Structure 1
């Protein structure tokens, strides 16, 4: 069973962790090994709408402005983008792109940015947060997917039975945290001592994007790294 956000925060930072929930929005400043770290994210399988995307981006931008170089930890529990006409009319695509751009800018300015999927990560809510961090990690109980097989069948026009069969041997077609580890989207699972896992991630996570290389080494994405290298060689 996935950890509740408060239990997770307590394991990582102690009972006085300084993180608060405003509805489905998580934010605060915690201390880790004597140093401050900005924590921002979501809970309750939050759908990411315009307001929630902008609220998260505001925390990231404020951290850059007021605390240059401070690490950021993204706590991820989302059902994806908010499927509501109001948010579409307000430009949810631009709001989510703004969140992703803020996270990317923080990385470029030297902030260590880590993502942690502690419950559920679906679709655009995951793509514009954890997948843009220096690296994304997950708890073993987490659920990760971009698209269910029935939806994938509708988009690709391929039979569900074929996609189900393909998913048994190819992680690209399959949901699940282990498959995202195999593809390199999730760098590693955090198990046991979560403080030790965070400490190791803070020290060892590379700044360069190694997801394609990890996916090739783990057999989950066998062509991505080679294609990227060909593009770079041709540039």
Structure 2
């Protein structure tokens, strides 16, 4: 993780690790930013969700007292929520909802939000904070999925073989960062050859403003109906 942070922020960073959580500050090409997230493909627990939420609230509170809201860079490395009866009985879904509300508060407070997917981003552990950012970028070899095909087969009662066949032609059924990029859920796929500080600078500059993920999914051929249906529901003419 330190090697990743060094490459992202060659001008310096002060990011502390607390188990699988990380939080701190760094100097990017756009200036000082908050860095918050998880590492080592963590399985998110109630305790980790509270720490992530607190880090976001601390960033909002600090900048309210000290000037303009600075960008928040989320590092998402998670295998999803902790699969534990103990965590479920504690109400893990409520902790995730609280975390999502904290991220929304940061956005409404003027923070630009960028997520960098490192390693793996799965299910609720990713949905509740990383997927809520304004810009989402996947680092090389990142694995992204909400539900694998075996679990999807159990839930939908569709044969795994049928889902595997559908996954060949539709990114909606297929895991992987490239498929999520086709659907518009990921804005950019980074390569090892890219200048990561420059790519992060661009992501921060493009964060905020209109959410164009449905439009991206249509342009990239991964979700062709999401934008037209949303426009019809909102009463916007399709040719506007």
Which TM bucket (shorter chain)?
A: over 0.9
Q: How far does the alpha carbon of each residue in 1:26-70 deviate from its partner, in whole angstroms, 9 at most, with x for none? A: 111111137221101001111111110110010111111111311
1:111-126 alignment runs, 5 A limit = 111-126=111-126
Please tell me whether the aligned partners of residues 139 and 189 of structure 1 are also in contact (alpha carbons under 8 angstroms). Answer: yes
Q: Is this contact kept in 2: 1:181–1:188, CA < 8 A?
A: yes
Seen in structure 2, the aligned counterparts of structure 1 residues 34 and 142 have a Cα distance that, compared at 3 Å, is closer
After TM superposition, the score normalised by the length of structure 2 is 0.92
Aligned residue number for residue 223 of structure 1: 225
Partners in 1 of 2:76 and 2:38 — Cα distance? 6
Deviation at 1:156, TM superposition (A): 0.8
**Count of matched residue pairs:** 230
Deviates more, 1:124-133 or 1:7-16: 7-16
The 3-state SS of whatever aligns with 1:97 is helix
Are 1:185 and 1:211, in contact at CA under 8 Å, matched by a contact in 2?
yes
Indicate if the aligned counterparts of 2:135 and 2:204 stay in contact, CA closer than 8 A.
no
CA contact (8 A) 1:140 1:177 kept: no
Do the aligned residues in 2 keep the contact of 1:26 with 1:43 (CA within 8 Å)? yes
- The match for 2:42 is 46
1:130-168 per-position Cα deviation (integer Å, ceiling 9, x unaligned): 211112111131000111111111111111111111101
Report SS of the residue matched to 2:13: coil
* Partner residue in 2 for 1:36: 32
Which 4+ runs in 1 deviate beyond 3 A? none
- Structure-1-length-normalised TM-score: 0.94
Unpaired segments ≥5 residues, structure 2: none
CA distance in 2, matches of 1:173, 1:181: 13
